[in-house]
Structure 1
Amino acid sequence: MTYEHILYSVDDRVATITLNRPDKLNAWTGTMEKEMRQAVENAADDAAVRAIVITGAGRGFCAGADMTLLSGITAGDRPAENGAAKAPAPASNSDFDANFERRFSYLLRLPKPVIAAINGPIAGMGVCMSMFCDFRYMADSAKLTTAFARRGLIAEHGISWMLPKLVGVTNALDLLLSARTATPPELERMGLVRVLPDEDFLAAVQGIARDLVTNSSPRSIGVMKRQVYEGLFQSLDGAWAVADEEMVRSFDSEDFKEGVAHFLEKRAPAFTGR
Structure 2
Amino acid sequence: MSDVKVVTEGNIRKIILNRPEAMNSITPAMLSQLNDEIKSADEDNNIRVIILTGEGRAFCAGLDLKQAASGEGISGALSGGNGAIHYSTREICTVTLQRIDTPVIAVINGAAAGYGLDLALGCDMRLMSDKAVLMPGFAKMGVIPESGGTWYLPRLLGWAKACEISMLGDTLNAAQSEDYGLINKAVKAEDLDAVSMEWANKISANAPLAISEMKRLFRHGLTQDFESHSHHVLMSVLNLFKSNDFKEGVSSFIEKRAPEFKGN
| TM-score between both structures, scaled by the size of structure 2 | 0.91
**Residues 131-169 of structure 1: per-residue CA shift (max 9 Å, x gap):** 110001000110111121111112311211111111222
**Residues 240-269 of structure 1: per-residue CA shift (max 9 Å, x gap):** 110111111111011111110111111111
Given that residues 69 and 76 in structure 2 are in contact (C-alpha distance below 8 angstroms), is that contact kept between their aligned partners in structure 1?
no
* TM superposition shift of 1:221: 0.5
Distance, in Å, in 2 between the alignment partners of 1:155 and 1:111 is 24
Distance, in Å, in 2 between the alignment partners of 1:68 and 1:270 is 50
Given that residues 13 and 49 in structure 1 are in contact (C-alpha distance below 8 angstroms), is that contact kept between their aligned partners in structure 2?
yes
Distance, in Å, in 1 between the alignment partners of 2:109 and 2:87 is 28
Give the structure 1 partner of residue 149 of structure 2: 159
**Residues 57-84 of structure 1: per-residue CA shift (max 9 Å, x gap):** 00110011110122145xxx9443489x
Q: Are residues 90 and 147 of structure 1, via their aligned partners in 2, closer, same or farther at CA, if it must alter by over 3 Å?
A: closer
Given that residues 35 and 96 in structure 2 are in contact (C-alpha distance below 8 angstroms), is that contact kept between their aligned partners in structure 1?
no
Distance, in Å, in 1 between the alignment partners of 2:79 and 2:58 is 24
Give the structure 1 partner of residue 77 of structure 2: 80
Give the structure 2 partner of residue 229 of structure 1: 219
The aligned amino acid for 2:247 is: K
Give the structure 2 partner of residue 200 of structure 1: 191
| % same residue | 34
The aligned amino acid for 1:237 is: E
Distance, in Å, in 1 between the alignment partners of 2:125 and 2:238 is 28
Give the structure 1 partner of residue 260 of structure 2: 270
Distance, in Å, in 2 between the alignment partners of 1:259 and 1:33 is 39
Given that residues 88 and 102 in structure 1 are in contact (C-alpha distance below 8 angstroms), is that contact kept between their aligned partners in structure 2?
no
Given that residues 13 and 51 in structure 1 are in contact (C-alpha distance below 8 angstroms), is that contact kept between their aligned partners in structure 2?
yes
Q: Are residues 79 and 132 of structure 1, via their aligned partners in 2, closer, same or farther at CA, if it must alter by over 3 Å?
A: farther
Give the structure 2 partner of residue 89 of structure 1: 88
User: 1:125-136, aligned counterparts within 5 Å?
Assistant: 125-136=115-126
Distance, in Å, in 2 between the alignment partners of 1:82 and 1:203 is 43
Distance, in Å, in 2 between the alignment partners of 1:161 and 1:47 is 29
Distance, in Å, in 2 between the alignment partners of 1:54 and 1:81 is 26
Unaligned runs of 5+ in 1: 92-100
Give the structure 2 partner of residue 36 of structure 1: 34
Distance, in Å, in 1 between the alignment partners of 2:101 and 2:86 is 22
Give the structure 2 partner of residue 9 of structure 1: 7
Unaligned runs of 5+ in 2: none
Distance, in Å, in 2 between the alignment partners of 1:257 and 1:244 is 18
* TM superposition shift of 1:90: 5.2
The aligned amino acid for 2:64 is: D
* TM superposition shift of 1:203: 2.8
When structure 1 is superposed on structure 2, of 43-52 and 117-126 the one drifting more is 43-52
Given that residues 72 and 82 in structure 1 are in contact (C-alpha distance below 8 angstroms), is that contact kept between their aligned partners in structure 2?
no
Residues matched between the structures, number: 257
After the TM superposition, which segments of 4 or more aligned residues of structure 1 sit over 3 Å from their partners? Answer: 77-83
Distance, in Å, in 2 between the alignment partners of 1:149 and 1:166 is 20
Given that residues 14 and 53 in structure 1 are in contact (C-alpha distance below 8 angstroms), is that contact kept between their aligned partners in structure 2?
yes
Query: What value does the CA root-mean-square deviation take over the aligned residues?
Result: 2.1
When structure 1 is superposed on structure 2, of 264-273 and 102-111 the one drifting more is 102-111
Distance, in Å, in 2 between the alignment partners of 1:82 and 1:169 is 30
| TM-score between both structures, scaled by the size of structure 1 | 0.88
Give the structure 2 partner of residue 64 of structure 1: 62
Given that residues 9 and 17 in structure 1 are in contact (C-alpha distance below 8 angstroms), is that contact kept between their aligned partners in structure 2?
yes
**Residues 163-200 of structure 1: per-residue CA shift (max 9 Å, x gap):** 11112222211111111111111110111111111003
When structure 1 is superposed on structure 2, of 19-28 and 161-170 the one drifting more is 161-170
Give the structure 1 partner of residue 51 of structure 2: 53
* TM superposition shift of 1:88: 6.6
**Residues 4-40 of structure 1: per-residue CA shift (max 9 Å, x gap):** 2111010021100110000111001111111111111
The aligned amino acid for 2:199 is: I
Distance, in Å, in 2 between the alignment partners of 1:79 and 1:104 is 20
Given that residues 27 and 64 in structure 2 are in contact (C-alpha distance below 8 angstroms), is that contact kept between their aligned partners in structure 1?
yes
